[in-house]
Structure 1
Amino acid sequence: MAKVVRRKFFIVSFLLFSILLLFLQHSRQVKVIERTFILENGSQNSSQIRDACFVPYWNQKTTENILHSEQIEEWAKTEFGGNLNMIDGEPRLLSAFVYPDEISIITTVMHTFLKRATCHYYDCNRVEIHAARFKSRVWPLAVITCPRRFGAEYVSVSYEEDEEPQEPIPLTYRAYDRPLHELSVCVGPMYGEESKWLEIIEYVEHYRLVGTSHFYFTLFNMNEYDRKIIDNYESLGIAESTKYTTEYLRLGWMFHLLQTHECHYRSKFHSKWVVNMDIDERLVYTGPLNLRSYLRRLPPNIGEVSFTTNRVLKTEPVPVKYSSDAQLMEDMLFLKYNKTTEISWYNLKGIIRPEKVAMLFYHWSYFQFEGVNVVSVPKRFGHVRHYRNMDKKALNGNWMENYNGTLQETRLSRSFEKRLISAVRRRVKYVYDQRMVRCEEIPEWLSSRFRRQLLDCKFKNEI
């Protein structure tokens, strides 16, 4: 009799469980499927398992909560750090990064700041992982931080209970034990109509001479000609870029803080120190030895190093395209413009330790984690040269009002200028000194077979 009762109990329980699963599947609360993982160094044969996901060692990890959760909740209560330059917009997924103990997802809007958000995790087949969701919040600005989940390769977010999450995006690996780069640069967003190719080359080559090894670019709006140089730096392995796809035709200065935060999280655990400067700002180090040596001597609890700035008066736009080496020598910004203001703390700039800083403003940090300090670099050790025009119609075009009104001639050191000229000329020539295919370069069997128009060439005397 007891066996019959137990049998009926198991049958009824199974039926109820099956009905519950069908209900949950129908309501899209969860998708239950048969999932198989192949662990790195495991014994299973992948050729015998259909749709199995290979999970490397680094991805065999689950964490229960996010780091500093209590401190972040306290900061969130202050409602400080939100920037509602835009009060609407579609919250598209921009990028996502997996760190040693957590994951951060960055979106393209600011108006979701402080909202509750749910993290969704997906395996290598883009199938949502069962019972893995986590309720988080948007903090800072446009960032949702989530715990790790075993085997997660894609992530997404939702803001409402009945909301369908967006199509998931892949996780970018940042779970390094040690940063790959000692000193890198978060390049401020580039927008507006002025050409950027020469500024980009001067900027990158300047900071390479200062001691940086990697550059994080953000591409808001960029024409094909300017894009060539960034493609070249990416092909060299010294740069990477974030591409924005939004519902807006153009992005401008109102989206600057999105770039600041995305780059901050992109560089986290990938670079130890990150220079946070716009494309028209050049850090000049004048202290002992070199900048990297200076940073190495700092105590381990330093999360930000602040520098003073001066403004360099710029009076003309950057040329649209390269024309000749002689013209390039006339157009290089650091040679052409040297009338500067006094050095001032009016608009300070920073070098950041990403994992020690919780929230940024444009070029410095709002919040640092417990025990982390910020130091200011004496003027005699370094400052930032900021090239600016005085167009009163431009953003902050009245900047001269914040200085004493006098300008003096200052230059980079002679030896630094010499090395920078050489580096800029070499890079410009490599990328932009281009010509048509010469008809003489095409073998006769090919040129005799096809019409001139199809060969797309010019004879040497025509060039």
Structure 2
Amino acid sequence: MFNNFKKIVILCLRLIIFCFGLGIIFNQISLLINVFKEANHSFSIHLYSHKNKDCVVPTWNRVTSKDVPYSEDFKKWAAVRIGAFRHIKDAQVRLLSSFVYSDQISIVTTSQNIDNKKVTCRYYDCNRDEVPYSSFDTVVVPMTVITCPRRYGAEFVSVTFDENETPHEPIPLTFRIYDEPIHELSVCVGPLYGKKSKWLEIVEYVEHYKLVGVSYFYFTLFSINEYDRTVVDYYAKFGYAEYTTYITEYQELGWMFHLIQTQDCHHRSRHHSKWVINVDIDERIIYTGSNDILYFLRSMPASIGELSITANRILTTGTIPEKLKNFANLQSELTFLKYNKTTEVSWYNFKGIIRPDLVYVLFYHWSFRQKPNVHVISIPKQIIHLRHYRSVDQNSLNGNWMEFYNGSLKETRLAPDFEQQLIKNVKEKVKYVYDQRWV
């Protein structure tokens, strides 16, 4: 009888332990379900199928944020169409680029007709699988840009404008989380397009700005031939530049897509460069202040988000050779030596040197929305101005500008030492890249 009682006690204990174990299991399942339902969880749980690799999430990517900084300001700006400059109104919405910062993600599209539209941010892990319960509803502002909060483990992003819409092909995030900017002074190069050769203009441009103190260049390639592309590839290969290419439904892109380039380069340079000169390929900055331009920029108060600078125009009547034909004749083709008939310096078509981290919204070459308590100042022409090598080709944008000019042109040149060094540097680069021979 005692043995039977003992067996009953053991059986009861086993049942109690079994029930306790079931309780723990059900509790864990309940917690797991709640985690999946929680939209703003601090980490993402993802069930991988056997065909997918596990995603290793680096420390910098273990962040989830509930909203974007200054979201209320963005909503107000969107409502009154701040930054809404529409040119090609029927363009498809295609993802151009995306950038991850410490506090947000920015997605740049190729459409100029979606400002203030409701849009949903979508997030994907290293396998391009969507992160569960991670989507975020927002609006497009400014013009082509969609700002999204961070999500744990997100390596790709996409968007949808309708709940029934299939998300666009996810685009990889470009890393822009730096304790300090990588570059102190860079250039956002205006978009390269059109049929005219640009290879020599690109070399002159880059070598000029390198002498000024620039260390990096952001190129945008709307359309460029293989020969011109060679020197852009050279600068990218050796760490002086990066470039954005466009895949759109249009056979050719022109100046009406310039504002898309403006948005892309602004977000591309944010936190990557402290100061950015926002100028076209035919514009060269001239610094005539004390010491050098980097010394001058370092003297700026932390509240300055943009320096506005004046410009003069250099009458430019010829074209660049399609290719290098004779290296011995190269110097006679250099734009900064051939053309020096100059207008007065004026504030017509002024440009900006910008702090991307302090500025929200750009027009073509200057900002018109900055962070709170951030200011724009104008720099006297005695310190900085631009030389704008302006064509009078009637097929060029505003190529008829001389018809409306009523001033007096005068001969001006670059500073002698600067000019001689620029000649040397341009010739060395052209020889390295283009002075080729058959085997």
- Using structure 1 for the length normalisation, give the TM-score: 0.84
* Counterpart residue number, 1:351: 353
Q: Secondary structure at the match of 1:67?
A: coil
CA distance in 1, matches of 2:222, 2:290: 37
What amino acid is the match of 2:103? D
* Counterpart residue number, 1:24: none
* Counterpart residue number, 1:104: 106
Q: Is the 8 A contact 1:342 1:403 kept in 2?
A: no
What amino acid is the match of 2:47? E
* Counterpart residue number, 2:171: 169
Report how far residue 79 of structure 1 moved. 1.2
Report how far residue 403 of structure 1 moved. 4.2
* Counterpart residue number, 1:91: 93
Summarize deviations over 1:123-155 as a string: whole Å, max 9, x none: 000000000000111111101000000000000
* Counterpart residue number, 1:417: 419
Report how far residue 80 of structure 1 moved. 2.9
Specify whether residues 293 and 403 from structure 1 end up closer, same or farther in structure 2 by C-alpha distance, changes over 3 A only: farther
* Counterpart residue number, 2:325: 323
Q: Does 1:372 align with 2:369?
A: no
Report how far residue 393 of structure 1 moved. 4.3
What amino acid is the match of 1:366? F
Q: Does 1:133 align with 2:161?
A: no
Q: Given the alignment, which residue of 140, 147, 150 partners 2:149?
A: 147
Report how far residue 391 of structure 1 moved. 2.9
* Counterpart residue number, 1:206: 208
Report how far residue 341 of structure 1 moved. 0.3
Q: Trace 1:335-346 onto structure 2 (pairs within 5 A).
A: 335-346=337-348
* Counterpart residue number, 1:59: 61
Report how far residue 404 of structure 1 moved. 3.4
Q: Is the 8 A contact 2:82 2:142 kept in 1?
A: no
Coordinate RMSD, CA, aligned: 2.4
Q: Trace 1:52-451 onto structure 2 (pairs within 5 A).
A: 52-400=54-402, 403-437=405-439
Summarize deviations over 1:397-422 as a string: whole Å, max 9, x none: 23235643310000000000011001
Unaligned runs of 5+ in 1: 22-31, 37-47, 438-463
Summarize deviations over 1:237-261 as a string: whole Å, max 9, x none: 1100001011111111110000011
Report how far residue 326 of structure 1 moved. 2.8
Q: Is the 8 A contact 2:278 2:351 kept in 1?
A: yes
- Percent sequence identity over matched residues? 55
Report how far residue 389 of structure 1 moved. 1.7
Q: Secondary structure at the match of 2:431?
A: helix
Q: Is the 8 A contact 1:100 1:177 kept in 2?
A: no
What amino acid is the match of 1:57? T
CA distance in 2, matches of 1:340, 1:128: 57
Unaligned runs of 5+ in 2: 1-15, 37-44
Report how far residue 396 of structure 1 moved. 1.3
CA distance in 2, matches of 1:324, 1:79: 53
What amino acid is the match of 1:275? I
Q: Is the 8 A contact 1:330 1:336 kept in 2?
A: yes
Aligned residues: 406
Specify whether residues 402 and 183 from structure 1 end up closer, same or farther in structure 2 by C-alpha distance, changes over 3 A only: farther
What amino acid is the match of 1:397? G
Q: Secondary structure at the match of 2:186?
A: strand
Q: Is the 8 A contact 1:346 1:402 kept in 2?
A: no
Q: Secondary structure at the match of 1:129?
A: coil
